[in-house]
Structure 1
Amino acid sequence: MHVLVIENDRDTRDVLSCMLEDAGYTVLQASKVSDGLRLARLNNHIGVVLVDVHLGDRLTGLEILKSLRDRLPFAQFILISGDWEALEKTIPDTRMLRKPCGRMEVLGLVGSAFEEFRSKGGSEAVPQVIRRPIHTVQG
C-alpha cells in the first residue's frame, strides 16, 4: 500500500513517514510540489496522498490537488496543515488532518482512505518491470 507524503517540513515529513512505514505502508516522500508531481507521474499505483496546504512553493497543496487527481484518478487525498483556518474550506473527496496530530489519528485516516481507494477501483498492482536483454561486448 503506497502513500505519497508531500510536506516541506523535514521533521514532520520524517515523523509521518515513520508512522506509516511502521504500520506497513510503503512511503514516497517529497519536500516540494515538483518532486511530488514527479513521484505521482512515476508511481501511478499510489493509493493515498498526504499533502501539506502550505508548501512554501508558488503553488499550495490545494492548487496541486487537481494535477494529482488527473495523474492518480483513484487516489485518496488528505490535506494536512497547522493552519486550521485553511482546512475549514470544504473540498470534495478530500480528508483533512490538523497539525499537531497523533499516530492513531494519522493511521485511522490513512486506513479509511485506502478502503475508499479500493472501493472506487484503485489497485495496488505495481507495473511489471520491462526487462531488456543485456548486451555484452565480446572482444
Structure 2
Amino acid sequence: MKILVVEDDPFVRDMTVTELEDAGYEVMEAATGGQALSLLQAGIALDALLTDIRMPEANGWEVAKAYRERFPDLPVLYVTGYAEQMQPVPGGIILSKPYRISQVIGLLKDVAA
C-alpha cells in the first residue's frame, strides 16, 4: 500500500513516515500542500492520503479535494492539532494531534479491507 504523508512539521512528518515504513507501507512525503499537489500533477498514484490540515501553500482540505478529483475512492486521513471547521471529503476521517501511529495503521487496515 502506497501512502502520501503531507505534514509541514518536520519532526511529526519524519516520525510518521518512519513508523509507517516500519509497519511495511510504501511511503511518500510532502512538506507542504503545494508539494503534495505537485506530486499529483506528476501522476503519482496512491492507495491512501494522510494530510495535516493547516499547511503552507495549500491546506489539507484543498489537497484532499484535488486528489479525490483524480482518485475518487482514495482513502483520506486528516490530522490536526486545531479545532477545525469540518470540510472533509466524503469518507474522510479526522484524527486529532497528537495521534498514535497505531490509530493510523488501524484505519489504513480498515480502508484497505
Superposed pair shares fold, TM > 0.5? yes
**Stretches of structure 1 lacking an aligned partner (at least 5 in a row):** 116-139
| Deviating 4+ runs (over 3 angstroms) | none
The correspondence of residues 1-139 of structure 1 with structure 2, limited to 5 A, is 1-41=1-41, 42-44=43-45, 46-57=46-57, 59-83=58-82, 85-86=83-84, 89=86, 91=88, 92-115=90-113
Whichever residue aligns with residue 26 of structure 2, its letter is T
CA offset at residue 96 of structure 1?
A: 1.0
Superimposed CA distance per residue, residues 41-98 of structure 1 (whole angstroms, 9 cap, x where no aligned partner): 4212x110001000132x3211222211112223110111111x11x62632101111
Question: Is the contact between residue 28 and residue 39 of structure 1 (CA under 8 Å) also seen in structure 2?
Answer: no
C-alpha separation in 2, matches of 1:67 and 1:22: 28
Whichever residue aligns with residue 76 of structure 1, its letter is P
CA offset at residue 109 of structure 1?
A: 1.4
Percent of residue pairs bearing the same amino acid type = 30
How many aligned residue pairs are there? Answer: 111
CA offset at residue 110 of structure 1?
A: 1.8
- SS of residue in 2 equivalent to 1:12: helix
Higher-Rg structure is 1
Q: TM-score, normalised by structure 2?
A: 0.88
Question: Is the contact between residue 77 and residue 94 of structure 2 (CA under 8 Å) also seen in structure 1?
Answer: yes
- SS of residue in 2 equivalent to 1:39: helix
Whichever residue aligns with residue 22 of structure 1, its letter is D
Question: Is the contact between residue 48 and residue 76 of structure 2 (CA under 8 Å) also seen in structure 1?
Answer: yes
